Structure 1
Amino acid sequence: MFENKKTYLNDEAKGKKLKNPVTADVHQRARAYRLQRVRDKLIENQCAAALLYDPVNIRYATDASNMQIWTAHNASRYAMVFAEGPVIIWEFHNCAHLCEHLETVDEVRNAINWAYFGAGPRVTEKAKEWAGEIVALLKQHGGGNMRLAVDKMEPEGVPFLEAHGVKLVQGQMVLEQARAIKSEDELELMKWTIRVCEHGMQRMHDELQPGMTENELWAYLHFENIRHGGEWIETRLLASGPRTNPWMQESSDRVMQEGEIIAFDTDMIGPYGYCADISRAWTVGHVPPTAEQRRLYSAAYEQIQHNMDILKAGMSFKEFVDKGWSIPDEFYKNRYCCVAHGIGMADEYPAIAHAGNDWERAGYDGMFEEGMTICVESCIAVEGGQEGIKLEEQVLITKNGCVPLSSFKWEKDWLS
């Protein structure tokens, strides 16, 4: 088993913490922009308000953050954003103080937890109490409009709202559409997260050596993220050697061997709640790649670059797919799940399906707009082959094309 005898905090050459360039004004302007985006989309969809349980949506609309992962699967806090009225958050027990600094929040109340974990056999009783409060607020601030956008909710609550004449609307659509276009201030927050992520990637690159486990290498990205104020990592998509084909195998205690491919997908929710979603591939020990490794990497790099070259504002999703890099038959079975997807505080609308059967089965059209941030994807692996390559780049859509938001190097000397 590999033993890393270096202690990172004592390594002055690598232990320097990055200096955060983001000012409080940038952060405050980003909050104001995001809240207004939500309100504009509510008006566009003729909704009086949005009821939000998804912690990422709550964060986007208000910047309120509290136990994000835990509350994603425990419905113990929620928020209500009125199109033309207040923003109210129902916080977890004794957590009202967490919103005191937020100008985006008008009122904090104690949450009524009517999910089974919190209410047990009292679900019906607590759900009725909860619905009564929501309905009363709609009547007070909704101007007679009872259309309520809801992103996610336990099913027991639906009939209690509908019994009072509430018309439920797909709230995830409203929020995803709001989140799709980034302001300049949002981009500053995202760029900082990406810089932190690349710092962690460089640490992984520098520490990588034969005899390490995948988990030991992956831990360096977590470390750099957390110490720079980041929050969590959505997946554990790091694999080496035969575990790179097929893709989607999460990091393990497998000991990496010299010369094998190691590939990863950061999926990192960093400072301010923004996501850095970047993939790269190296050889363990940074030894020269084999001819087959070069061939796979060259194909993945070509797919990324071709699709980035054609991507621009005003292009439809379907046009992008039709003009996109054509995946050779030998790699098609192990293609990635999408050609590209939106990115912001997490993976977001849109998800762009591959051409052919994928498009017919799950594709949908739309338009790339200026200010969208997109991740361009590639996974190249021969069915039954020994290894695969996973690459991904995060870009900003402009009227003239797309601009990479990441500056982390490619292995250009591998290109055949």
Structure 2
Amino acid sequence: MAGGNQFDAHNVTSLKRTEHTLPDVRAYRLSRVQEILQKNNCSAILLYDPVNIRYATDTSNMQIWTGRNPSRYVVVFADGRVVGWELHSCEHVWDGLDLDFELRSAVAWTFFSAGTEAERRADIWGAEIVDVMQRRAPGELRLAVDRLDPVGAAYFVKNGVTLLDGQAMMEMARTVKSAGELVLMNESLRACERGIERMRRELRPGITEQDLWANLHHENIKHGGEWIETRLLASGDRTNPWMHECSSRVLQQGELLAFDTDLVGPNGYCSDISRTWTVGDTRPSDEQRHLYEQAYSQIHFNMDLLRPGMSFREFTEKAWKIPEIYLKNRYSCVVHGIGMVDEYPSVAHQVDWDSGGYDGVFEPGMTLCVESYIGAEAGTQGVKLEQQVVLIESGCVPLTSCSFETDWL
């Protein structure tokens, strides 16, 4: 594959962008899509998810808006050819791409775009896609789709197209990163770290959670980043349970402040880092220090455990055991994949395995986030930590230099 995915602990941390990085990454990612299509005996995939379109073609156009409004779409064929249906006056987003592609005008048929004409326009939309498939892959009407409204799916079924689960295919294609992708991910992480550093400088009693969170957005946009998926920053008693988004609450001296960046930065890659501090940079209380020690232990025990070739089930069975007092408020997974956004896999806790677990195997080149939340049921504070890593043959390597509060341990 273009770009390769052989790393060691040294070159993971020293990878730098060259003039070949972006072309190599584009070629690698397209080759991954081709391989998954060929593996599933599928001639083409229809993509609406803006992250999947970015992965396959490296085109990006109003990602949040098009994520809500299915108005641009792409068909990628197993031989690498691409047909893109683009928004009005937006052809420029395809400039400079070394792709075998054809560009057309998108046909939007959601109620917002088409009103009561939605079904008629969907017929026009579907007929054009079927025609493209018949001309480029005659006799092979097997189409993978990542997301599609009921009217569109009904059109394809009525016209003899066999639909396959394209989202599953794209998740698997995106799983293993090339060396070039790590370069681009590192650039996103550096932008995120600048935002974290700015938040740390601005952290003081009297500032609101929202004021503090705005510093992360500032640095992301300043350095060419794109958006932040959540607003997960909480202080004081809002740190327990986890999952409170930032508010107008005023920070108080000595209380805990925790956050989860979920930041889509430069190049469209996600930087997912969680840290917990004290407001005013005060010495933590005994309870705060104990919570932190538990979360730190969970993160690092599980990082030491991770190995390529290990199954998800084996990992979760051997993972750090959460003390009973913190079990109810545990984080939603032990480890999850990360790339342009949160990706496959999401590895369940052992206690959740029967209801929400699924098996698979960790592979070299996977980028992952190792998670912890420690907060007692009915407690008044909690600690959130998360470390982004890449799997290499010997284990995992952290991708961020963002420090932990090791003097609390």
Decide: shared fold, TM above 0.5.
Answer: yes
SS at 1:315's partner residue?
coil
Alignment of 1:3-402 (within 5 A): 22-104=17-99, 106-356=101-351, 358-402=352-396
d(CA) in 2 for partners of 1:269 and 1:25?
A: 23
Question: Match for residue 410 of structure 1?
Answer: 404
Contact 2:30-2:80 at 8 Å conserved across structures: no
d(CA) in 2 for partners of 1:253 and 1:134?
A: 48
Residues 230-254 of structure 1: CA deviation (Å, up to 9, x unaligned): 0000000000000000110001110
1:145 Cα deviation from its structure 2 partner? 1.4
Gaps of 5+ in 2: 1-14
Residues 191-216 of structure 1: CA deviation (Å, up to 9, x unaligned): 11111111110111111100000011
SS at 1:386's partner residue?
coil
Question: Match for residue 3 of structure 1?
Answer: none
Contact 2:233-2:246 at 8 Å conserved across structures: yes
Contact 2:53-2:74 at 8 Å conserved across structures: yes
1:164 Cα deviation from its structure 2 partner? 1.8
d(CA) in 2 for partners of 1:276 and 1:250?
A: 18
SS at 2:337's partner residue?
strand
Contact 2:80-2:100 at 8 Å conserved across structures: no
d(CA) in 1 for partners of 2:263 and 2:224?
A: 12
Contact 1:239-1:262 at 8 Å conserved across structures: yes
SS at 1:84's partner residue?
coil
d(CA) in 1 for partners of 2:337 and 2:401?
A: 19
d(CA) in 1 for partners of 2:80 and 2:227?
A: 33
Contact 1:235-1:267 at 8 Å conserved across structures: yes
SS at 2:20's partner residue?
helix
Change (3 A) 1:21 1:243: same
Contact 1:62-1:105 at 8 Å conserved across structures: no
Aligned residues: 395
Among the aligned pairs, what percent are the same residue?
A: 56
Segments of 4+ in structure 1 off by > 6 A?
none
Return the TM-score normalized by structure 1. Answer: 0.94
d(CA) in 2 for partners of 1:352 and 1:105?
A: 37
SS at 1:107's partner residue?
strand
d(CA) in 2 for partners of 1:372 and 1:105?
A: 28
Contact 2:312-2:361 at 8 Å conserved across structures: yes
Residues 6-56 of structure 1: CA deviation (Å, up to 9, x unaligned): xxxxxxxxxxxxxx9634421111011001100110000111101000000
d(CA) in 2 for partners of 1:147 and 1:402?
A: 38
Contact 1:307-1:376 at 8 Å conserved across structures: yes
d(CA) in 1 for partners of 2:98 and 2:185?
A: 21
SS at 2:350's partner residue?
coil
Change (3 A) 1:387 1:105: farther
d(CA) in 2 for partners of 1:252 and 1:25?
A: 43
Residues 322-342 of structure 1: CA deviation (Å, up to 9, x unaligned): 000001000001000000100
Q: Which amino acid aligns with 1:402?
A: C
Contact 1:88-1:106 at 8 Å conserved across structures: yes
Return the TM-score normalized by structure 2. Answer: 0.95
Contact 2:31-2:80 at 8 Å conserved across structures: no
Contact 1:89-1:105 at 8 Å conserved across structures: no
d(CA) in 1 for partners of 2:234 and 2:23?
A: 39
1:85 Cα deviation from its structure 2 partner? 4.9
1:312 Cα deviation from its structure 2 partner? 1.0
1:143 Cα deviation from its structure 2 partner? 3.9
Q: Which amino acid aligns with 1:78?
A: Y
Q: Which amino acid aligns with 1:191?
A: N
Contact 1:218-1:238 at 8 Å conserved across structures: yes
Change (3 A) 1:123 1:296: same
Gaps of 5+ in 1: 1-19
